[in-house]
């Protein structure tokens, strides 16, 4: 049997695991969109079965034996001699995932899942009652388990490295610290000088009208409805199961069609990324996302760099005017769209204040995991942080530390990827604009194919072959830096 066939066999096993994961996510999509309410218990049973099967498929003895034929798991040395560079990269990624997964004993994983599934319910109740104290014991246990997790996974410098590595492989806490310091220093003066908020631009429309506009927008930017769909759920999200099957959702935003359209661009950016993976490599790391930060860079690229640009609205605003028979001046519209206003809620905030919300969560997570901050003192720490960063006073836990679901899910290490997404996107955009200096002229005319092409060539087609740092260096010739992001904001709010 040739070595190459062994590589193909490993891919077959992985493809099986990924197909099972795809089915389970598809059931999750159905649960959020069309599933009848009473099906909840049976859906939980279906998902449990699929999780067991896919876990076995990617960590079981069959997969391990096949993987060991290609790489020495202890030394990381590739054993197969005739693999291409790309195939070697894939094998290293298989080994990385496998080794990380194996470090967590299945009893620990079960305990973690069991605890967090209850913690989510506790958090929902605490949020409804606006009382952090109700969530405190549960969060305390999540943090204990999270600390245990970092010990099981291991780390070189700081425990937080083991957490962030799950979502942003290859990046260290030290690197994130330096980048976020740059962001903090760059953003604070912009908030001070940014113009005061303008009056809301109201376009009243029904859910059906919103969906019509979103479909039109998606058609315009080149979303392929033969390979994807748009539906309604309580929170907008994007999911892909294969490059030929991508789902995005939106929620009823009767108050703000603008938010609706920007959110649709955001979710479409996530979808484009996965629709652009090489179909032939489906099931292998060469058709997977690099990291959560790179995934987020793809959504932010469309939402902020295209969707908040004047060029885009020169093209799309006339469509709104025609559809809703409303006089909308481009200048008014642009200043409303790009206003800066410190807000308590992360998901409601503008692109200047947004990173500060993320940085606060990141700093708190590090303090909780290192034991520097006692869990009971979290609200006090949170409120002082918001006051310091945004100059506003938090009055209740709901507008403070109870607002996000992430900690109830045990997703420590996730938050930084949101801002890294903006930072990656800005650095990518700089390279994109260098290649396409007349991008605005094309966007004004409703041409978007060249954007897809650039993203495909520079990001999508590589799958996970490069980590975030290597990919951004390959695209821009520089290591990851917050400078392009800060420059972009400075120019916009000068």
How many chain residues are in contact with Zn ion, going by CB under 5 A? 1
Question: Rg of the chain's alpha carbons, rounded to an integer?
Answer: 23
Stretch that binds Zn ion, among 19-27, 207-215, 283-291, 296-304 (CB under 5 A): 296-304
Measure the CA–CA gap between 417 and 423, rounded to whole angstroms: 10
Cα–Cα separations (whole angstroms), residue 155 to 15, 103, 164: 30, 12, 11
Interface stretch with Zn ion, choices 199-207, 239-247, 299-307, 423-431 (CB under 5 A): 299-307
Q: Cβ of residue 295: shortest distance to Zn ion, in angstroms?
A: 7
Q: How far is the CB of 17 from Zn ion (least distance, A)?
A: 24
**Nearer CB in complex with Zn ion: 246/299:** 299
Tell me which stretch binds Zn ion (CB under 5 A): 179-187, 291-299, 317-325, 373-381: 291-299
Nearer to Zn ion, 104 or 259 (CB): 259
In the bound state with Zn ion, the residue whose beta carbon lies nearer, of 191 and 262, is 262
d(CA 149, CA 163): 8
N- to C-terminal Cα distance for the chain? 65
Closest distance of CB 298 from Zn ion, Å: 9
Shortest distance, position 353 Cβ to Zn ion, whole Å: 17
- What lies within 8 Å, CB to CB, of 114 at 6+ separation is none
Closest residue to Zn ion: CB criterion: 299
Regarding 138 and contact with Zn ion (CB under 5 A), the answer is no
User: Does residue 142 belong to the site contacting Zn ion (CB under 5 A)?
Assistant: no
Nearest-approach distance from CB 456 to Zn ion, in angstroms: 19
Q: Quick one: 63 or 362, whose CB is closer to Zn ion?
A: 362
Phi-psi map region of 222: left, alpha, beta (phi>0 left; psi -120 to 50 alpha): left
| Percent of the chain that is helix, strand, coil (3-state, to 5) | 70, 5, 30
Separation CA 469–CA 471 (nearest Å)? 6
Based on CB atoms, which residue is closest to Zn ion, 240 or 299? 299
Q: What are the φ/ψ torsions at residue 240 (nearest 5 degrees)?
A: -130, 145
Are 183 and 424 spatial neighbours (Cβ–Cβ below 8 Å)?
no
Active site residue 267: yes
CA-to-CA separations, 380 to 48, 357, 412, in angstroms, rounded: 38, 15, 20
State which of positions 245-264 bind Zn ion (CB under 5 A): none
Where does this chain touch Zn ion (CB under 5 A) — which range of 167-175, 295-303, 306-314, 454-462? 295-303
- Find the catalytic residue in 21, 253, 267, 365: 267
Calculate the dihedral angle through the C-alpha atoms of 327, 329, 330, 336, rounding to the nearest 10 degrees. Answer: -100
Cβ-proximal residues to 360 (8 Å cutoff; 6+ apart), any chain: 382, 385, 386, 389
Q: Which stretch binds Zn ion (CB under 5 A): 27-35, 244-252, 297-305, 371-379?
A: 297-305
CB 158, min distance to Zn ion, A:
27
| Least distance from Zn ion to the Cβ atom of residue 233, Å | 14
Instruction: Closer to Zn ion by CB, 71 or 289: give it.
Output: 289
Closer of 263 and 383 to Zn ion (Cβ): 263
Residue from 54, 210, 299, 469 in contact with Zn ion (CB under 5 A): 299
Type and span of the H or E element at 239: strand 238-242
- For Zn ion, the binding residues (CB under 5 A) are 299
Catalytically active residues, by annotation: 267
């Amino acid at each position: 049997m040739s070595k190459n066939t062994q590589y193909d066999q490993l891919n077959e096993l992985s493809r099986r695991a990924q197909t099972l994961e795809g089915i389970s996510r598809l059931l999750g999509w159905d649960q959020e969109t069309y599933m009848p309410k009473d099906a909840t218990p049976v859906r939980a049973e279906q998902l449990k079965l699929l999780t067991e099967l896919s876990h076995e498929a990617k960590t079981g003895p069959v997969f391990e034996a096949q993987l060991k034929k290609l790489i020495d798991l202890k030394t990381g040395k590739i054993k197969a001699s005739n693999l291409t560079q790309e195939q070697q990269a894939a094998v290293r990624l298989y080994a990385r995932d496998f080794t990380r997964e194996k470090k967590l004993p299945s009893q620990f994983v079960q305990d973690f899942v069991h605890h967090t599934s209850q913690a989510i319910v506790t958090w929902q109740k605490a949020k409804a009652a606006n009382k952090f104290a109700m969530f405190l014991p549960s969060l305390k246990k999540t943090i204990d388990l999270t600390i245990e997790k970092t010990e099981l996974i291991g780390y070189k410098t700081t425990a937080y490295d083991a957490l962030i590595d799950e979502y942003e492989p290859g990046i260290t806490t030290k690197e994130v610290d330096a980048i976020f310091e740059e962001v903090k220093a760059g953003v604070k003066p912009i908030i001070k000088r940014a113009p005061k908020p303008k009056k809301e631009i109201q376009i009243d429309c029904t859910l059906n009208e919103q969906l019509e506009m979103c479909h039109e927008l998606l058609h315009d930017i080149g979303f392929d409805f033969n390979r994807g769909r748009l539906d309604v759920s309580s929170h907008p999200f994007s999911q892909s199961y294969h490059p030929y099957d991508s789902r995005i959702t939106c929620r009823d935003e009767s108050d703000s069609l603008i938010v609706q359209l920007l959110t649709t661009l955001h979710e479409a950016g996530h979808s484009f990324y996965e629709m652009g993976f090489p179909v032939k490599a489906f099931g292998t790391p060469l058709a997977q996302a690099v990291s959560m930060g790179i995934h987020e860079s793809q959504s932010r690229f469309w939402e902020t760099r295209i969707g908040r640009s004047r060029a885009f609205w020169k093209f799309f605003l006339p469509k709104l005017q025609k559809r809703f028979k409303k006089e909308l001046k481009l200048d008014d519209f642009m200043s409303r769209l790009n206003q800066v206003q410190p807000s308590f809620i992360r998901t409601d905030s503008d692109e200047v204040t947004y990173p500060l919300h993320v940085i606060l969560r990141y700093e708190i997570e590090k303090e909780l995991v290192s034991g520097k901050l006692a869990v009971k003192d979290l609200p006090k720490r949170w409120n002082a942080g918001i006051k310091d960063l945004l100059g506003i006073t938090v009055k209740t836990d709901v507008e403070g530390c109870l607002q996000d679901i992430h900690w109830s899910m045990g997703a420590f290490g996730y938050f930084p990827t949101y801002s890294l997404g903006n930072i990656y996107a800005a650095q990518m955009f700089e390279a994109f604009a260098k290649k396409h200096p007349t991008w605005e002229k094309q966007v004004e005319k409703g041409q978007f194919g060249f954007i897809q092409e650039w993203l495909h060539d520079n990001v999508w087609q590589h799958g996970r072959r490069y980590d975030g740092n290597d990919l951004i260096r390959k695209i821009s010739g520089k290591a990851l830096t917050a400078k392009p992001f800060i420059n972009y904001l400075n120019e916009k709010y000068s």
